[in-house]
Amino acid sequence: MKVQQISVFLENKTGRLARVTEVLGENNINIRALSIADTTDFGILRLIVDAPEKAMPVLRDAGFVVSSTEVLAVEVNDQPGALSKALRALDNTGINIEYLYAFVQKDPEKALVVFRVERLDEAIKVLQDKGINLMSSRQVYSL
Amino acid sequence: MYWQREYETMSREQIRKVQLERLQALVKRLYNEVPFYQQRFKEKGLLPGDIKTLEDIKHLPFTTKQDLRDTYPFGMFAVPMEDVVRLHGSSGTTGKPVVVGYTKNDLRIWGNLIARSMVMAGVTKNDVVQNAYGYGLFTGGMGIHYGAETLGAAVVPMSGGNTAKQLMLMQDFGTTVLTCTPTYALYMAEEAHAGGVDWEKIKLKIGIFGAEPWSNEMRRQLEESWNITAVDIYGLSEVLGPGVACECRYKKGLHINEDHFIAEVIDPETGEPLPYGQRGELVFTSLTKEAFPVLRYRTRDISVLYADKCECGRTLIRMERVTGRTDDMLIIRGVNVFPSQVESVLLEFGETEPHYLLVVDKKGTMDDLEIWVEVSDRMFSDKVRGLEDLEKRLRARVLSVLGISAKIRLVEPKSIPRSEGKAKRIIDKRPK
């Protein structure tokens, strides 16, 4: 149920994001989802790709600082209030969400949201108890 | 344990007496034998007989590296070549080296000073000393070599490099003492821990490291990774080579061999001598060297002298380990700042080979310091909060170590320009 996310340190200067995507493209690695968190000086690019164990070394070789984190890919129905059900469930158990970001999938009825939470195993149980569907890493990588 | 107890534990009164006698003899010798110094004395209207007390040293001229270059190769020698038995050169990266010479007696004294340093560190004649300082023009290799022989230890003359063989012999010979630069010792440790070494066979107890500035944090790393006691040895070829000063096992500064050298700390800007306890540029006068004596040689190394008594029983004053060079000293808002201080902070944060850059600029009338730090895998986190927290902790540590506030800017790896593999540490954009 855990999905591997890759984070890349980016200085706030032109061309850095383009370079990351080039490196991935040249190595035939497909991006499934991405988000950037930024401050005035730097940004952190978070990526879900189809081959994370391949992406890490190629990005490192290209001179980037990368790290890998486990996240959850939560499937929610594409309708009002659907996301709040998942958030409320975590909140009730006191599990903090560090950050989250949404990404599209091919099924028009569903939305996918990446959750970065602190107590991962507990969060999985809480969400599954509420009948919320978590996608497996294989499903996510092959989207 | 002492090597020459009578000199190492003299009273301050005695040591000052020995120093004055030797200084007066030196000044006479320089005036008579070295035209360069005679000229300098005349310019200052000085005669050898004017030196009546130790404090009179402040009237004597300084010697700079440039003076030594200008008199290349043998212009500073105070004896005829027939008495010179060895030549060494300083490791100048540009142009011609500075050449230094030794008589037989100089080598004998040097050997004893190294032996003294080794005994201070705890080495005995039963030890096997693996000497991985470079052999050649550089004074480190041969200097340590003959000193270890003088002591009576078994020396393995490895010179630098060939790490696999170093590690093999270290196990096979049961090496107990390693002598080399601290960076090489660290590199060897990494290789040793990477595998292929039978740690049962590693008998290392003591490391005597020098020839480059290193921090206490690096000492901790070396002591942990090798399971040894690591001490700092100091020297420079213009003054002698290694053996000018060395740490004892209490590691509270390096004991200066004062019966052979007078150490001063001066204000690098004005040249005025500073009292004990104040930080400034180290200046050495060699008292007993015959072939290549120097008067008030400006080392450009930054340190502090301490005269309080050491627990080891030696009365020789101590110098704080060199924390920087006047060449890379920055004055920011009136405070002296050295890149090595920033390096020590980054080492505390677990960086084994930190890459950083100090960028100084003027903002209005104020000096502004930014420290660029290359982010490593070890520092990086996927959370913005993690990186901001790192910046905050670095800023607080820099403030307490440097005494001034700085902005920390995290940058991508390899983004700080390097020349010849060595990173540039300072960009000063302030209008001159």
Q: What is the 3-state secondary structure (H, E, C) of chain A?
A: CEEEEEEEEEECCCCHHHHHHHHHHHCCCCEEEEEEEECCCEEEEEEEECCHHHHHHHHHHCCCCEEEEEEEEEEEECCCCHHHHHHHHHHHCCCCEEEEEEECCCCCCEEEEEEEECCHHHHHHHHHHCCCEECCHHHHHCC
Place of tokens 């002296």: B336
Q: Which two tokens stand for residue A30?
A: 């497909």
With CA atoms as reference, the chain A residue closest to B414 would be A63
Decide if B416 touches A, using CB distance below 8 A: no
Residue B61 CA to residue B46 CA, distance in Å, equals 10
**Closest in B376, B380, B388 to A39, CB measured:** B388
The CA-CA-CA angle for residues B13, B296, B245, to 5°, reads 65
Residue B60 is given by DSSP the state: S
ipTM for the whole predicted complex goes beyond 0.95: no
Nearest C-alpha in B relative to A7:
B382
pLDDT tens per residue across all 432 residues of chain B? 999 999 999 999 999 999 999 999 999 999 999 999 999 999 999 999 999 999 999 999 999 998 998 999 999 999 999 999 999 997 555 567 899 999 999 999 999 999 999 999 999 999 999 999 999 999 999 999 999 999 999 999 999 889 999 999 999 999 999 999 988 898 899 899 988 899 999 999 999 999 887 888 889 989 999 999 999 999 999 999 999 999 999 999 999 999 999 999 999 888 999 999 988 999 999 999 999 999 999 999 999 999 999 999 999 999 999 877 787 778 888 887 888 888 888 888 877 677 899 999 988 888 999 999 999 888 898 999 999 999 999 999 999 888 889 999 999 988 887 654 445 788 999 887
- Pairing between strand B229-236 and B261-266? unpaired
Say how far apart CA B228 and CA A43 lie, in whole Å. 42
CA pair distance B371, B427, nearest whole angstrom: 10
Write down all domains in chain A, each with its CATH number in brackets.
Answer: 2-69 (3.30.2130.10), 71-141 (3.30.2130.10)
Residues 48-87, chain A, touching B (beta carbon < 8 A): 63-67, 69
| DSSP reduced 3-state for B251 | coil
Which of B383, B410, B414 has its CB closest to that of A42? B410
The shortest CB-CB distance from A63 to any of B384, B410, B414 is to: B414
The residue of chain A with its CA nearest to that of B374 is: A65
Residue B257: name the closest of B230, B229, B288 by CA.
Answer: B288
**A chain contacts of residue B382, beta-carbon cutoff 8 Å:** 5, 7, 44, 46, 67, 69, 116
Which of B355, B376, B378, B382 has the highest number of chain A CBs within 10 A, making it the mutation to test binding with A? Answer: B382
Closest Cα in chain B to A70: B382
Measured between CA atoms, how close is A83 to chain B, in angstroms? 22
Residue type, B315: T
Contacts of B384 in chain A (CB under 8 A): 37-39, 44
Q: Which of residues 384-413 of B touch A (CB under 8 A)?
A: 384-385, 387-388, 409-413
B-chain residues near A19 (CB < 8 A): none
Contact flag A99-B383 (C-beta cutoff 8 Å): yes
- Sign of the alpha-carbon torsion through B379, B385, B389, B395: positive
Tokens representing B351 are 């960086």
Look up tokens 């560190």; give the residue. Answer: B121
Nearest CA in chain B to A39: B384
* pLDDT tens readout for residues A1-27: 899 999 999 998 889 999 999 999 999
d(CA A111, CA A47): 17
Cα–Cα dist B93/B323, whole Å: 21
Domains of chain B: 1-327 (3.40.50.12780), 329-428 (3.30.300.30)
DSSP codes, B72-141: TTTTT--S-GGGEEEEEE---SSSSPPEEEEEHHHHHHHHHHHHHHHHHHT--TT-EEEE-SPPSSSHHH
What would the two tokens of residue B358 be?
Answer: 């100090």
Set of chain B residues whose Cβ sits within 8 Å of the Cβ of A16:
412
- Inspect the interface and report whether the beta carbons of B380 and A11 lie closer than 8 Å: no
